[in-house]
Amino acid sequence: MTLSHLFDLSLLARRDVPALEWQGQTWTFGEIDARSNRLAHLFLHLGLAAGDRLCVYLANCPALIDIYLACVKTGIIFVPINILYREREIVHIVGDAEPRLIVTRAEMPALSAPLHTPEDLVLQAENMPAGRPPGPIDGDTPAALVYTSGTTGVSKGAILTHNNLAANAINLAVCWQITHQDRMLLGLPLFHVHALGNGLHTWLAAGYRMRLLERFEHRRAAAEFEQFQPTLFFGVPTVYVRLLDTPPAAAARMAARMRLFVSGSAPLPPQVLDDFRDLFGHTILERYGMTETLMNISNPYAGERRPGTVGFPLPGISMRIVNAQGTEVTTGEQGEIELRGPNVFAGYWRRPDATEAAFRNGWFRTGDVASRAADGYVTLHGRKSDLIISGGFNIYPREIEEFLLEQDGVAEAAVVGVPDSLRGEVPVAYLVTPDPLDEHRLEQACRASLASFKVPRAFIRVDALPRTALGKVQKHLLPPPGKS
């Protein structure tokens, strides 16, 4: 089976049911099916074929969904581009993917591939057949080429197959008890696997009603919740931090029909989970995934959602935690997460070297450091690439960051290693605070609770931490000490 077969549980079986809301308009599943069928026929008419790439550089809109479905139905590989990227980053992705067509509203004189606006495509597709075109029959067919965020280097294209995306959707629908009775408020960007792989795919697999937002705006969140009354909401930690400013009465109204809040794409500080539960009466379900593997590990829907952990591997996904030699570590010991399962991508686009380096004996090497408790709960400790080695001691920045976030007046924190002639590296903390820093107080608090080698050698106040569109801190963009 392919994604088309999975989506037909909604597109065909629920064709007369309202499916999508957007800025006051509503479409049924059947109307969405016909819209995407016409676009699929148009793409074939324009000369695109299975295996060709189609790049999309768009903010959230219904046309983006139509284009994705048209690609799924024809075997054309969908390539979403981060709407925050600028010419240098876009040129890299387009040069690497070599698309036959680019859909965008932006001016891109540096690109040679044909450019179309979504409005132009919809207009051209009006006279195309509404019936289903011939499509892929193999679940191993690539469906999407999603480029990594490039937080530490040049972004690479992860090849996600129909099977990868279908397995992910089925896992989430079952484990999070998602059904056609749910209602999803989706404000995350569809160029990222969080919204695309989780939001869009569970919507089409389960057949619930979804309201799509162009972007999440925390000032409008209460109104959107109260008007639409969703039962499902997927967010990133920065979204939940902003929602903590909601007045208690409004929070109660927002949560009235909610069934499940999910957080991912970046670590959720335990204090945020606790504060959110106190305000909204819901315990956020934190899970762990990445571009190359979609969702891997999740706190349970029924059972303890343990603060600071990401829960257990999802069904069908094997996980091990290993040391540098590839030997599994003991309970409580830290090591790198390695994964196997139907969710693991087919490799990096045109990068056999990077693909080979990403696997060890069939296991995908995530680069994420974690430990597993005796009862199976997995705790993430950071990226291997973030590891600071100071005087022979290993320091994982997340531990220090979470401690700093517990201190009064610290809104955001990032810890990085900087060169040191004596110890090799030492930790330095970058902090977002509403008031001037009291460095002495912070240093004393750290010395009272952390080993001496983990205490930051400097505390630097910044107006904001550089982040990706999904909230991951881009530590390589932080100013060097003394230049903030």
Instruction: Label residue 146 by pLDDT band (50, 70, 90).
Output: very high
The rounded distance, in Å, linking the Cα atoms of 216 and 230 is 14
Q: Which range has highest mean pLDDT (192-196, 229-233, 267-271, 389-393)?
A: 229-233
The rounded distance, in Å, linking the Cα atoms of 1 and 81 is 27
| 169, 208 Cβ separation under 8 angstroms | no
Q: Which long-range contacts (CB under 8 A, 24 or more apart) does 402-411 make?
A: 402/269, 402/270, 402/308, 403/445, 403/446, 403/449, 403/450, 404/429, 404/431, 404/442, 404/446, 405/269, 405/271, 406/271, 407/441, 407/442, 407/445, 409/433, 409/434, 409/435, 410/442, 411/241
Q: Which range has highest mean pLDDT (147-151, 300-304, 403-407)?
A: 300-304
User: Mean pLDDT over residues 8-34, rounded?
Assistant: 98
The rounded distance, in Å, linking the Cα atoms of 312 and 321 is 13
96-105, 134-143, 294-303, 420-429: the lowest-pLDDT one: 420-429
CA distances from 69 to 66, 180, 249, 268 (A): 5, 19, 40, 32
Query: Does residue 151 register a pLDDT over 60?
Result: no
Query: Does residue 216 register a pLDDT over 60?
Result: yes
79-88, 183-192, 226-235: the lowest-pLDDT one: 79-88
Q: Which residues sit opposite 212 in a β-bridge?
A: 186
User: Mean pLDDT over residues 401-428, rounded?
Assistant: 89
Q: Which residues contact 409 (CB under 8 A, 6 or more apart)?
A: 433, 434, 435
The rounded distance, in Å, linking the Cα atoms of 200 and 34 is 17
pLDDT of residue 149: 66
3-state secondary structure of 273: helix
pLDDT of residue 153: 55
> For residues 278-314, b (16+ Cβ closer than 10 Å) or e, as one string?
ebbebbbbbbbbbbbbbbbbbbebeeebbbbbbbbbb
Query: Does residue 92 register a pLDDT over 80?
Result: yes
Token digits for 372?
């597993």
pLDDT of residue 265: 84
User: Mean pLDDT over residues 82-96, rounded?
Assistant: 87
336-359 pLDDT tens trace:
999 999 999 999 999 999 999 999
pLDDT of residue 136: 86
User: Mean pLDDT over residues 121-137, rounded?
Assistant: 93
121, containing H or E segment: helix 118-125
User: Mean pLDDT over residues 304-313, rounded?
Assistant: 96
Q: How far is CA 332 from the centre of its chain?
A: 27
Query: Does residue 301 register a pLDDT over 80?
Result: yes
Q: Which residues sit opposite 413 in a β-bridge?
A: 431
Handedness of CA 216, 219, 225, 231 (dihedral sign): positive
Token digits for 453?
């080698």
Per this entry, what is the length of the chain? Answer: 484
The rounded distance, in Å, linking the Cα atoms of 469 and 216 is 11
| 171, 295 Cβ separation under 8 angstroms | yes
pLDDT of residue 394: 74
Vertex 431 angle, CA 427 and 436, to 5°? 125
223-232, 369-378, 458-467: the lowest-pLDDT one: 458-467
Whole-number average pLDDT of the chain? 93
285-299, 374-388, 390-404: the lowest-pLDDT one: 390-404
pLDDT of residue 150: 53
Query: Does residue 154 register a pLDDT over 80?
Result: no
Q: Which range has highest mean pLDDT (48-52, 114-118, 238-242)?
A: 48-52
3-state secondary structure of 282: coil
Instruction: Label residue 158 by pLDDT band (50, 70, 90).
Output: very high
In percent, the amount of the chain with pLDDT more than 70 equals 98
3-state secondary structure of 298: strand
Query: Does residue 152 register a pLDDT over 80?
Result: no
Token digits for 397?
């920045």
pLDDT of residue 156: 92
| 218, 239 Cβ separation under 8 angstroms | yes
242-276 pLDDT tens trace:
999 999 999 999 999 999 999 998 788 898 999 99
Integer-rounded Cα radius of gyration of the chain: 23
354-368 pLDDT tens trace:
999 999 999 999 999
The rounded distance, in Å, linking the Cα atoms of 375 and 332 is 10
pLDDT of residue 453: 85
First to last CA, the chain: 53
Helix 3-11 with 162-175: angle, nearest 10 deg: 50
Query: Does residue 100 register a pLDDT over 60?
Result: yes
